[in-house]
Amino acid sequence: MLGSAKAQTHVGAIPSKAQLAWQQMEYYMFIHFGVNTFTDKEWGHGDEDPKVFNPTQLDARQWARTAKAAGMKGIIITAKHHDGFCLWPSAYSKHTVRESNWKNGKGDVLAELSAACKAYGLKFGVYLSPWDRNHPDYGTEKYNQTFVNTLTEVHTKYGDVFEQWFDGANGEGPNGKKQVYDWNLFNGTVYKYHPNAIIFSDAGPGCRWIGNERGIAGTTMWSGLNRDEFRPGMGGIEKILNEGQENGTHWVPGEADVSIRPGWFYSPATDDKVKSLAELLDIYYGSVGRNANLLLNVPVDRRGLIPKNDSLRLMELRKQLDATFKNNLALGNTAANDGKTTTFWTAPTAQHAVLELAFKKPVTFNRFQVQEAIAYGQRVRKFKVEAFENGAYKEIANETTIGYKRILRLPAVTASKLRLTIIDAKAPALITEVALFKAPELLADAEINRNKQGEVILTSASEDAELRYTLDGSEPTYKSPRYTAPVAFAAGGVVKAKAFVDKGKRAGATITAKYDVSPAKWRVTYADTARQRAEMAIDVNLHTSRSTPGSGRTFPHEIQVDLGETLQLKGFTYIPAGNGVIEEYAFYTSADGKNWELQQQGTFANIRNNPVRQDVLLPKTAGARYIRFVALRGANEQQPWAAIAELGVITK
């Protein structure tokens, strides 16, 4: 039945009008851009020469065109990251575009992007980190007002701001001190100039982080949060943020942030590591499909442009999503399937309420979508879906929350009727829409791996795919060598592969992998763990890891490796394991395994939230046969052990 006056009484926390409009955006772009783009760092130290910021072809309209063509609804840019560099000529900092060589110090990235967003009908948002590793006021009583002054500049000079993104990072400034942030003052400043802006942080108040930087929300996903119990930068709350709280006091919906590359800022080393279409689809269904908004980072390169590989992948995603959701197979004339989110079906009871849809002829689908009328609160705790086929109902899904939108990926089902059962809800459910779609079959891309012996192995989830490859960096075609057996590639280089079907008429994306020298000759000479366990750090298997014993042991932990030959080392790589992620390290080299020379000591920036492969370049090339990697501190204070999924070297 249609919603009644009684049914429209809200239950629990409800969204504001601004939050409702924000939720309907669903998908928009993050852009990390700044001095880090030119220094190849994730977290700059604030001591950069601002003159390094000098994009040669900066074109904010290209960013906006790309976002619009990708189906995104807005752009949020890192106006100021932790390094303190401002993308506008702030009157309250000496670390800005004004001090750079770009446009002879006359440029303003925020002005250009704001105008570009307006031209292309996109919403404009800003990220400003309160941490400032450059500003002399940071760590003093003056700084909170200094930060408010920068907020005021941004919120009064560049038009409407739909979202203010606050990072909770809080480290030392140039004076070695940390700041006590005045979040009430910061939030109040934003609302003073943009009362409808959505403020993002771990605690909202407008929207919240979903507890990871993989872009994946919980399978149970409530939009409620006991907001007053949390603060930005608070540790140990990732699971709560990922799932929300059923009886949360405030409406603080989830936003899933993730980068299209392994890192957030552009790096030439990640040009071949743009996420595949399959990975982006997993992220889409794990965010938008689980009651969260998707904020996808697309870093701008040193020219000041979105790179071609990233843009092409965004267009592939748009094409796949358009093909999937263009035709609602369940469209009908009831309140639950009329294609309108302004009407809704009201469940007669809170438990075991059944909605049945019948079709004029059987429909074949593999996507199920359902939405709640969240203006009256999020209600559904548990639901199931049944399809009527071969004369009987068959359960095809059994899930928990719905919220604004829930999309389920299913095996193909052909049914003449569909039954949605609200098993349990906080109050009679209000279902605005039930939709069915048939997503086109996706050709699985080639997958490239290399074993410890240095053999390249190609696979594809599509059983009928032919795999073609090159070893010289050229683009593979159907005429390239066909993969039939492991290929020797111990010295390393660039491998490119592509999956083909229908005798080359259809092809997947080009997949690229760069390898250095293989660890075939390597062996562990010392580690503070069992030898067999230690060897897992150099076995080229990401599913195994070297982990030091946690009981009674504290940092430092170390491992020493004989490379089997003298190599000219330009750097090293570290791939973290799930537990025991290393944050601070020291890297040594030796010619004889006895006399060691410290080559590099530092920290892996943001590795706790984004535990991806770390590539560290040495100040100068070092000839060595032995390497020594020391874990000085972990990313999680509760885990006194260190884990290494893989340790490698850079020689090319």
For 255, counting Cβ atoms within 10 Å of its Cβ (0-12 exposed, 13-18 middle, 19+ buried), the class is buried
Return the pLDDT at 9: 87
Q: Tally the residues of the chain.
A: 652
**345-437 placed in CATH 2.60.120.260:** yes
**446-515 placed in CATH 1.10.645.10:** no
Return the pLDDT at 550: 55
* CATH number at 523-650: 2.60.120.260
Segment-wise mean pLDDT, segments of 10 residues, the chain, 652 residues: 58 97 98 97 95 98 98 98 98 98 98 98 98 97 98 98 96 94 98 98 96 97 97 93 98 98 95 93 98 98 97 97 97 93 95 96 97 98 96 97 98 97 97 97 92 96 92 96 97 96 91 95 90 88 79 82 98 93 97 98 92 94 98 88 94 95
Same fold for the pair 345-437 and 523-650: yes
Return the pLDDT at 153: 98
Answer yes or no: are the C-beta atoms of 609 and 620 closer than 8 Å. no
Note every long-range contact of 320-324, with CB atoms under 8 Å and residues 24 or more positions apart, other chains counting: 320/277, 320/281, 320/439, 320/440, 320/442, 321/71, 321/284, 322/71, 323/439, 323/440, 324/367, 324/437, 324/438, 324/439, 324/440
Rounded to the nearest 5 percent, the helix, strand and coil shares of the chain are 20, 35, 50
3-state secondary structure (DSSP) of residue 599: strand
Q: Which of 117, 152, 119, 158 is nearest to 25 (CA)?
A: 117
Task: For residue 482, give the DSSP letter.
Answer: B
Return the pLDDT at 321: 98
Return the pLDDT at 323: 97
Residue ranges with strand state E in 278-341: 292-297
Give the integer Cα–Cα distance in Å for 556 and 148: 40
Domain residue spans of the chain: 17-322, 345-437, 446-515, 523-650
Give the architecture-level CATH label for domain 17-322: Alpha-Beta Barrel (3.20)
Give the integer Cα–Cα distance in Å for 14 and 375: 6
